[in-house]
Amino acid sequence: MPAAVAQVTASVTNDVPASREQIQKLFAVMQVRQQTHRMMDSLVQQMQAMTTATIKARYPQITGAELAKLNRISEEILRDMPLDAMLDDMIPVYQKYLSQSDVDNMIGFYQSPTGKKLINQMPQITQEAMQVSYRRMEKQVDDVMQKVEDLVKQDQQGGRDQKAQPSPQNP
């Protein structure tokens, strides 16, 4: 039997979903929990920088104390996210798409020098990618905020126009 056919046959016969324990081992080898916590810390910083800049631009009269309060609230919201429970909830999703052999191969990769390098460099890669994305997202947020302000002004103007016009019942 040719090697390609043997490989396809082996992958078809090994469609047994990965076990919960395998996925947990994969998460451990990939340091998913630690990576997620680091990513959330970085996300908090990025979101605070973006929202602070947007709020200052839109509401220049806002005080430093008010900004600090908003930052504390957003930080608390993100830090209170049940990340460990969320990761546990993801296990069935991984099981749905990955077979035992898939997970075994991934574990092997992430235990290799290249896999370990990727894991170690991922926080820096993610942080730099977020910084690059932030510039684009900042423009989008500004555009959305402008549209919201325009809609509010239109609604306010529409309300004034209706009050200024006499109603058909009371000319």
Distance CA 98, CA 11 (A): 11
Name the pTM for this structure.
0.56
Model pLDDT, residue 5: 41
Model pLDDT, residue 4: 45
Q: Which tens digits make up the pLDDT trace of 27-44?
A: 999 998 888 877 777 777
Distance CA 12, CA 49 (A): 49
Which parts of the chain register pLDDT below 50? 1-13, 171
Note whether 27 and 90 are within 8 A (CB).
no
Note whether 20 and 95 are within 8 A (CB).
yes
CA 25 to chain CA centroid, nearest Å: 23
